[in-house]
Amino acid sequence: MVSPNTATPATVRQVNRAILLNLIRTHQPVSRIQLSALTGIYRSNVSFIVEELIQEGLVCEKRGKPEGRGRVPMFLSLNPDGFQVVGVSIRAGETVSAVADLTGRIRQSTSFRTPKSPSAWLEHFRTALARLRSAAGPGPGTFHHLCVSVPGMVNQASGEILWMNALPNYSGYKLRDAAEAATGIATSVANDCHLATTCERWLDNTAGDLKNFVFLEVGDVGVGAGMIVNGELCTGHNSTFAAEFGHMVVDPSGPRCNCGRKGCWELFICDRATWGYYDATREFSASRFAEVIQAAKAGDRKAVRAFQKTAAQLSLGISNIVMVLNPEVVVLAGRVTEVWDLIYPSMANAVGTLPGKPQIRPARMSAEELFLHGAIRHALSGLFAAPQLG
Ligand SMILES: [Zn+2]
């Protein structure tokens, strides 16, 4: 009898299939011979798997230019019409739903105001999905997977929202089960920053070579984060939370955090904190924050000092994270990255003397785009990821 922890020939073929599909994605158009050279997989095995992918409509081939008197080479690409998924990003104000093809490109999108109750949300979402289905036309009307990005704590294994500060009525809602029952589409639910982390990895030019990195999203009133360790997203032992760097206590006598403790790091680096360093006499608002950004860009000394203070606090936390995880890269998202030249020197200074010296860079997309595209990538990941053993 075969142990469930053992790789069978079928598992090996599935792993090779995922590897080839990923290489077609990153190297397209690419020939079978090139795929064999890139992977070391026998040409006959490459051809066998490629035929399977063509049959399933995931890959298409096009004739290349004739090479001398030799055969005309055939080049392989992902078939964008072969597979469609739905990515959804719930934010406190608005929910965006998008249909994407196999390459991750968004075909259609639609949005609605996020209601206060999750059952009302589900009704709105059904309507949005019907709109997307009719926009997709009569051809590719099947959506193979649905992934929802949630700005809160989620049990990724069960798809239940455990805690959502911005929308308290959603806490305890079994979103995955409810969405599957309402739509008939296989669904996964994940934390927004965890999805953004995997999206950043996908977008990385070195495609999969980035094995250890930390993602930080500096938001209006909090900080979200995710981390990839040894090539895997870390979700904690019970799939509920990990990498909550924003709640590292940096000042036990500091202000009260909504996690119940005092002096959490996010209270010193979120946009509301920067606003407080700039103008403590007026309440923070997301639209007012644009004021301090513009002022800092124009060289206003008070605004520059406010961002320098935030940068000093950011640097403190990042240097601690680096000492624990030794990541290759720390990626930062959020509006604070709009004044990158102001905040970067302090962070570079703080990690420059540490062993490992990670690169610190801004994210490749805005945080909102990363949440939505992260959901899309996650919905596609079943195709591109090799099966796990055990
Ligand atoms: Zn906290």
Q: How far is the CA of 13 from the centre of ligand 1 (A)?
A: 45
Q: How far is the CA of 170 from the centre of ligand 1 (A)?
A: 20
Neighbouring residues of 97: CB distance < 8 A, sequence distance ≥ 6: 86, 87, 88, 109, 110, 111, 125, 128, 129, 132
Pick from 3-17, 170-184, 360-374: least confident = 3-17
**Mean of the per-residue pLDDT values of the chain:** 89
The gap from C-alpha 164 to its chain's centroid, in whole angstroms, comes to 18
In the block, residue with structure tokens 């055939």: 74
Rounded to 5 degrees, φ, ψ at 151 are -85, 65
Q: How far is the CA of 111 from the centre of ligand 1 (A)?
A: 31
Rounded Cα gap, residues 294 and 228, in angstroms: 34
Token duo for residue 41: 């997989």
* 3-state SS, residue 11: helix
Q: How far is the CA of 152 from the centre of ligand 1 (A)?
A: 13
Q: How far is the CA of 163 from the centre of ligand 1 (A)?
A: 13
Q: How far is the CA of 309 from the centre of ligand 1 (A)?
A: 20
Q: How far is the CA of 317 from the centre of ligand 1 (A)?
A: 14
Rounded Cα gap, residues 19 and 339, in angstroms: 39
Q: How far is the CA of 303 from the centre of ligand 1 (A)?
A: 26
Q: How far is the CA of 302 from the centre of ligand 1 (A)?
A: 28
Q: How far is the CA of 247 from the centre of ligand 1 (A)?
A: 4
Q: How far is the CA of 314 from the centre of ligand 1 (A)?
A: 15
Tell me, what's the pLDDT at 368? 95
Q: How far is the CA of 351 from the centre of ligand 1 (A)?
A: 24
Q: How far is the CA of 287 from the centre of ligand 1 (A)?
A: 24
At residue 206 the predicted structure's pLDDT band, cuts being 50, 70 and 90, is low
* 3-state SS, residue 218: strand
CB 185 within 8 A of CB 176: no
Task: Find the largest Cα–Cα distance for the chain.
Answer: 79
Q: How far is the CA of 259 from the centre of ligand 1 (A)?
A: 4
Q: How far is the CA of 246 from the centre of ligand 1 (A)?
A: 7
**Up-side HSE of residue 78: CA atoms within 13 Å toward CB?**
21
Rounded to an integer, the average pLDDT of 362-382 is 93
Domains of the chain: 9-78 (1.10.10.10), 85-195+370-384 (3.30.420.40), 205-363 (3.30.420.40)
Neighbouring residues of 242: CB distance < 8 A, sequence distance ≥ 6: 227, 234, 235, 236
Side chain identity, residue 86: V
Rounded Cα gap, residues 145 and 186, in angstroms: 5
Reply yes or no on whether the pLDDT at 207 is more than 70: no
Number of H helices, E strands in the chain: 12, 14
Q: How far apart are the first and last CA of the chain?
A: 15
Reply yes or no on whether the pLDDT at 11 is more than 80: no
Reply yes or no on whether the pLDDT at 2 is more than 50: no
Q: How far is the CA of 249 from the centre of ligand 1 (A)?
A: 7
What proportion of the chain, given as a percentage, has pLDDT over 90?
A: 65
At residue 69 the predicted structure's pLDDT band, cuts being 50, 70 and 90, is low
Q: How far is the CA of 222 from the centre of ligand 1 (A)?
A: 9
Rounded Cα gap, residues 24 and 30, in angstroms: 6
Q: How far is the CA of 265 from the centre of ligand 1 (A)?
A: 7
36: exposed, middle or buried (Cβ count in 10 Å: 0-12, 13-18, 19+): middle
> Any idea how long the chain is?
390
Q: How far is the CA of 260 from the centre of ligand 1 (A)?
A: 6
What Å distances lie between residue 6 and 10, 23, 171, 388, CA to CA?
Answer: 11, 25, 39, 10
At residue 71 the predicted structure's pLDDT band, cuts being 50, 70 and 90, is confident
At residue 9 the predicted structure's pLDDT band, cuts being 50, 70 and 90, is confident
CB 94 within 8 A of CB 112: yes
Q: How far is the CA of 273 from the centre of ligand 1 (A)?
A: 14
What proportion of the chain, given as a percentage, has pLDDT over 70?
A: 93
Tell me, what's the pLDDT at 1? 46
Q: How far is the CA of 387 from the centre of ligand 1 (A)?
A: 36
Q: How far is the CA of 250 from the centre of ligand 1 (A)?
A: 10
Q: How far is the CA of 90 from the centre of ligand 1 (A)?
A: 22
Q: How far is the CA of 253 from the centre of ligand 1 (A)?
A: 13
What Å distances lie between residue 48 and 75, 119, 283, CA to CA?
Answer: 15, 47, 64
Do β-strands 94-100 and 85-90 pair in parallel, antiparallel, or remain unpaired?
antiparallel
CB 256 within 8 A of CB 262: yes
Tell me, what's the pLDDT at 208? 56
What Å distances lie between residue 238 and 4, 181, 195, 198, CA to CA?
Answer: 21, 25, 17, 19
Q: How far is the CA of 263 from the centre of ligand 1 (A)?
A: 7
Reply yes or no on whether the pLDDT at 353 is more than 90: no
Rounded Cα gap, residues 129 and 109, in angstroms: 10
SS3 content of the chain, % helix, strand, coil (to 5): 45, 20, 35
